[in-house]
Amino acid sequence: MEIKSFDKLIVNSLLKDGKKYVSNECKNLLSNGENYGSIMLDVKVTLTDKDGNEEVVNCVAKTCPPKGICWMIFNVPYTVKKEIAFYQTVIPTLNNFGKTHGIDEIIPFFAKTYGSRISLDPNSDVVDTDAALLLENMKLKGYGLPDRFIGFNLEEAKIVLKNLTTFHAVPIALKLQKPDEFKEKIKPTLARDMKFNPPSDMIDNLMAVIKNICIDAKLEHLLPKLEKNFKRYCEELVDNPKIKEPFATMVHNDLWVNNVMFKYDNNIPSKCILVDFQGLDYSSPTNDLLFLLYTSIDLSLIETKFDDLVKYYFESFIDILKKLKCPNIEQFTFEAFLEEMALFANEIQLYHIILMCQPIYMKKEDAKDLSKMEETMNSTTISSLHENFKKKIIFVLSNYEKRGWI
């Protein structure tokens, strides 16, 4: 649980106005199965001011998983740099752009950052196991996670979709109004050099589970397409050639229920923050929308409100573009958006959704400790998954078939 040279990590944020570092205490923030791409720590930092008075600052530290299967699958040397750049460069750039339109903080739905590094060596450009990102602990501000086995209700869904439209629309407005600034400060963080390389036994194991579900649900006629396209998905994800303008923008690429924290007032959600920006990409906003809707919305809700939520997203998206006086808004038609949605649903998101449903619905007692996952993540059996896994897979495949996306 140790974070080495902790004082150097916070020197430019917490150690100001005569404050001095005293100590820190770390413990696991999440239980097994809640996060695989990084280790999340609850950190209490003790400082003293110039008069010797103690102050405690509560933080969350994101550190690297042990080298092994997670390091490979999640491409840690790549994702750590990307997330640090998001907090250091992307957020300030977009907020400064908002100020030119009279909006003080146009993207307020992120945790404050207290410091980051990729290595203890300040001259290194290689991520190692001492990399760390230190963030404000939003749990102590009243934010929490919904139940991942159930997903978002309607109020939660609308709040996160509202923020997602801003997340997508602001970079587009910057791209169209200040293309040089977008190219210099935003685009490099969205570079696609990530390789998604799940072990073959992990894919084979998951497909065996999916095959049994399809047979039970009389969807076995879809299996040849699924089996053929799973391999192609993993191979083509590196290049992702289908980048289409004008909708192409910054996408989260991993926006599921555990990457959204809500604040509740009298048990009613009032606001949310987005977290975990390790997979940022330059692609279609429909990628995030599809992934969020299919993986993270309450099944009873998404079965009846899918089209309504898509329309709600799009109308909010256009409202943001108008607020930012984006030129040529007429090119962003709902018809073009739906065409793009169909393209990315078929080519990319179906397999992304199915893969992610495995960790989302992994029973907590069967989830593995990251420190013990050195060789494989292959542990999927139908008995290790929550009962909603089967229901969600059947819905996703049936809905895709109904829409002509498979």
Compute how many other C-beta atoms are within 10 angstroms of the C-beta atom of residue 337: 21
**What is the phi/psi pair of residue 362, to 5°?**
-65, 125
| Residue 152 domain-assigned (yes or no) | yes
d(CA 165, CA 368) in angstroms, rounded, equals 34
| Residue 1 domain-assigned (yes or no) | no
135 contacts 111 by C-beta, under 8 angstroms? yes
Residue 121 pLDDT greater than 90, yes or no: yes
| pLDDT confidence band for 378 (50 / 70 / 90) | low
Residue from 325, 286, 292 nearest 405 by CA? 286
| Residue 197 domain-assigned (yes or no) | yes
Tokens of 293: 């809707």
> What pLDDT sits at residue 75?
79
| Residue 290 domain-assigned (yes or no) | yes
| Residue 104 domain-assigned (yes or no) | yes
Q: Which residue has the tokens 């950190």?
A: 43
Strand 268-274 relative to strand 20-28, pairing:
unpaired
Q: Of 60-74, 285-299, 385-399, which gets the smallest average pLDDT?
A: 60-74
| Residue 327 domain-assigned (yes or no) | yes
| pLDDT confidence band for 304 (50 / 70 / 90) | very high
Distances, alpha carbon 332 to alpha carbons 166, 213, 307, 327, 340, in Å: 15, 39, 18, 10, 11
> What pLDDT sits at residue 191?
83
Compute how many other C-beta atoms are within 10 angstroms of the C-beta atom of residue 202: 18
Q: Which domain does 34 fall in, by range?
A: 6-402
Compute how many other C-beta atoms are within 10 angstroms of the C-beta atom of residue 247: 19
| Residue 96 domain-assigned (yes or no) | yes
149-162 average pLDDT score: 97
pLDDT above 70: percentage of residues in the chain: 88
d(CA 230, CA 204) in angstroms, rounded, equals 10
| Residue 90 domain-assigned (yes or no) | yes
Residue from 175, 171, 157, 176 nearest 311 by CA? 157
Q: Under the phi-then-psi rule, with left for phi > 0, alpha for psi from -120 to 50, and beta for the rest, what region is 297?
A: beta
Distances, alpha carbon 123 to alpha carbons 117, 120, 380, 402, in Å: 11, 9, 42, 54
153 contacts 298 by C-beta, under 8 angstroms? yes
pTM for this prediction: 0.92
Tokens of 2: 């140790």
> What pLDDT sits at residue 384?
84
Count of structural domains, the chain: 1
Compute how many other C-beta atoms are within 10 angstroms of the C-beta atom of residue 294: 26
188-205 average pLDDT score: 74
| pLDDT confidence band for 282 (50 / 70 / 90) | very high
Mean per-residue pLDDT of the chain? 89
Read off the pLDDT of residues 227-277 as tens digits, 9 standing for 90 and up. 877 766 666 655 555 678 999 999 999 999 999 999 999 889 999 999 999
